[in-house]
Chains A and B, each alone.
Chain A
Amino acid sequence: MSNGDLIFVLLVAGVTLLGFVAARWGHSTMRTLDEWALGGRRFGTLVSWFLLGGDLYTAYTFIAVPALVYGVGALGFFAVPYATIAYPIVFLIMTRFWTVAKRRGYVTAADFVRDRYGNRSLEIAVAATGILAAAPYIALQLVGMKTVFYELGGVFALGGGAFALVAAFALLAAYTYTSGLRAPALIAFVKDALIYITVIAAIVVIPAKLGGFAHVFAAAHTAFAARTKPVALLLGPQQFFLYASWALGSSLSLFIYPHSITSVLSAKSADVIRRNSVLLPIYSLLLGLLALLGVCAVAAGITTSNSNLVVPMLLVTYFPNWFVGVGFAAIVIGALVPAAIMAIGAANLFASNLFSEFTPSRPAGEVSVAKWLCLAVCAFALLFVLFANVRYAIYFQLLGGGWMLQTFPAFVFGLYSRRLHPKALLLGWLVGMMATTWMAISAGFTPAFALHLFGMTLVGFNALYALILNLLTVALAGAVLRTQHVADGTLPADYA
């Protein structure tokens, strides 16, 4: 076993231990869903910063964004505006959601939708969408881990990395079962520290070894132009709309994902979320620097058909073996944290909104249902990764992002107005779901859809087009249905 392997094993074993110890953190009883799934809603600014950072900036993000820049050039940099404009949205919307959720005891977005509109079908629609979107996201975290195990070689690579993956994931499921959200919250400290060390080292060392950024961009320019399908380091004018619509659409859906909701609700106050929307862009800066590694990889002449290997290959090329161990551990632990939170978020939706209906007095035994479901969600994701083609996970994750955005009107508009008709929202959701699915399939599972309208062609983010259809439907159906007697469980004062 090399030094790198040893460091890798020690780090991963260490965080596993932390995961089990986390159950004893902060006098928890684990008898209610609040305690298990939201850490008792007691996390302060620092814990929340690590938790949200560990949750939103997943290992997959850190692998996929440089891979995208490596593959498509400037267009892949959309992750930076996306991860920036998300924060004004958090600052305004999620603080409002946190406040009403705290007052009324919500654990999921669907809890709020049920309470606000008094409509069981809309609750089910929102919950099912969240679960459908979370499942492939978990699967992709596993894909990232499997890639690393494979790259490590030796015992880790047995069965293409499958054995190591099963072992790591079984442990993850076990400590998430016992410790709930406290496990990823505690592990997130280690995860983020490792990610910062790896990324900062990489972004200092690699461009320096390549002769500075000016040289990197010049070399990448030449290499990009020489490809059979030339790629540019600036956008073409026909890509402007696509770039902006990806950034906007993605930032609108980011915080509706079940794992984001779970992390946000675990904060102890609305001010913790406000402070975090000020401080979380530090991660976006990190993500932006990482995206530049995609350009570095092109300049360094790294060639691979699997662009997800770009970052691991850069690490192996430019760093000593022991540091590669740190970097690989960062990727695996970076996948474990969000995977756990996603499993908890999906389990919450099952337990709170699908198996039973949300009521402010939460049913007894709900937490044990959620814990078992969390194990089931983990098992399902693992089976998916082991037996289905990775491509399907990516397709579903793309679709999932589009689906998630279709719950935006019910969730976000509901936070500000009680005038929307639940049936109109349900119809809009249905139209949006069908539209985004159809557009994704007809564009060969890419998130870019060419809209032909009035003799013009506008290539944009399919999910955003579907959201527009969704909103039009809500407006039209709302105008027809007009009168309503909504059984709104919330009060205006609950939101402020």
Chain B
Amino acid sequence: MRPPRALALHSRRFAGDRSRNIYRSLNDGGGPSHGARGWPAGVHGRSENPPSGMKHRAWYLLLVFPFIGLLWPALYNRASPALLGLPFFYWYQLAWVILTSLILGAVYLLCREHPDV
């Protein structure tokens, strides 16, 4: 086990920095400013949820669908219905490429910390 750290102090620093972060990230595009600057490695608190993380993690379950849709070939190993001359097997998997991108985009938007950034 590591020695306990001064949680209260750092939590306060987190909270303070977090509110400033909203404005700061508007200027620099967000991301690395949270936490990467500000603290030297190894002094941040442990219990606080750090600012650059993602909320609403239940949405992450959506990411299971591409695996189900693509890793069970019996689902889609058919020639018909064809689309633009492409057998089902081919267009179905190409459609999943787009669908996966959309799912990831949705999860990204739904789970962002600062929707305005």
Contacts and interface: CB of A to CB of B under 8 A. Distances in A.
Interface of A: 41, 44, 74, 77, 80-81, 83-85, 87-88, 91-92, 99, 102-105, 207, 212-217, 233-235, 237, 239-240, 243-244, 247-248, 268-272, 274-275, 277-279, 281-282, 284-285, 288-289, 292, 360, 491-494, 496
Given A103-B36, A234-B87, A493-B48, A281 B31 contact: no
Given A84-B100, A85-B70, A278-B108, 7 more contacts: A77-B90, A85-B71, A88-B66, A214-B82, A215-B85, A278-B104, A289-B94
Nearest to A79: B93
A88 B105 CA distance: 11
B108 A92 contact: no
A231 B9 CA distance: 68
B96 A81 contact: yes
A145 B52 CA distance: 42
Contact of A91 (B41, B71, B82, B104): B104
A87 B62 CA distance: 13
Contacts of B52: 99, 269-271, 496
A213 B60 contact: no
Interface residues of B, number: 48
B46 A491 contact: yes
Interface string B84-117: 1111011001101110110111011000000000
Given A214-B82, A292-B90, A88 B97 contact: no
Nearest to A83: B97
B77 A235 contact: yes
Interface of B: 2, 29-32, 35-36, 41-42, 44-46, 48-50, 52-53, 60, 63, 66-67, 70-74, 77-79, 82, 84-87, 89-90, 93-94, 96-98, 100-101, 103-105, 107-108
30 contacts: A74-B77, A81-B93, A84-B93, A85-B66, A85-B70, A85-B100, A87-B101, A88-B66, A88-B103, A88-B104, A91-B104, A102-B32, A103-B36, A212-B85, A240-B73, A247-B70, A268-B32, A269-B31, A270-B52, A271-B31, A271-B52, A278-B101, A288-B93, A288-B94, A292-B90, A491-B42, A492-B46, A493-B45, A493-B46, A496-B49
Given A244-B71, A281-B101, A493 B44 contact: yes
Contact of B108 (A235, A274, A493): A274
Contacts of A74: 77, 89
Contacts of A235: 73, 77, 89
Contacts of A99: 52
Contact of A88 (B32, B53, B100): B100
A91 B70 contact: no
A235 B76 CA distance: 10
A491 B44 contact: yes
